[in-house]
Amino acid sequence: MIWRQRVSLALLTLLLGALAGCMGHSEEEWQAKLKENLDLQNQLTATRQKADSDLKSASDQIEGLKGQLKRAGVDVSNLTADLAEQKAATSPCAKTR
């Protein structure tokens, strides 16, 4: 009777040990995921840097165009006000139609 308990305990221990070894990720899988995460972080950083660079380039281009308009005698600040006035003036007309 005692030998059955010991054999059962030994088999249970082996079974639990085998199951514990099957669960989880291997070191290689873990390292591969870490590398994948690092690669994605690097890609995100590069994308953000490109977006920042593109934004700066576009902002510089806008400022250059504003300078050209100013040299041509166009006041950019009045354009926005004029547009708002035109919208306000045409708004009643659009409502009566």
Q: Quick: pLDDT tens for 66-87.
A: 999 989 988 877 777 777 788 8
Rounded to the nearest 10 degrees, the angle between the axes of helix 27-71 and helix 76-96 is 90
Q: Is residue 61 part of a domain?
A: yes
Q: Is residue 1 part of a domain?
A: no
Q: Is residue 78 part of a domain?
A: yes
CA distance 66 to 59: 11
Q: Where are the alpha helices (DSSP H) in the chain?
A: 2-22, 27-71, 76-96
Tell me the residue range of the domain where 37 lies. Answer: 25-96
Q: Is residue 17 part of a domain?
A: no
For the chain, the domain total comes to 1
Q: Is residue 91 part of a domain?
A: yes
pLDDT number for residue 42:
97
Q: Is residue 10 part of a domain?
A: no
Give residue-wise pLDDT tens across range 21-53.
Answer: 666 778 899 999 999 999 999 999 999 999 999
pLDDT band at 18 (very low <50, low <70, confident <90, very high): low
Q: Is residue 60 part of a domain?
A: yes
Q: Is residue 7 part of a domain?
A: no
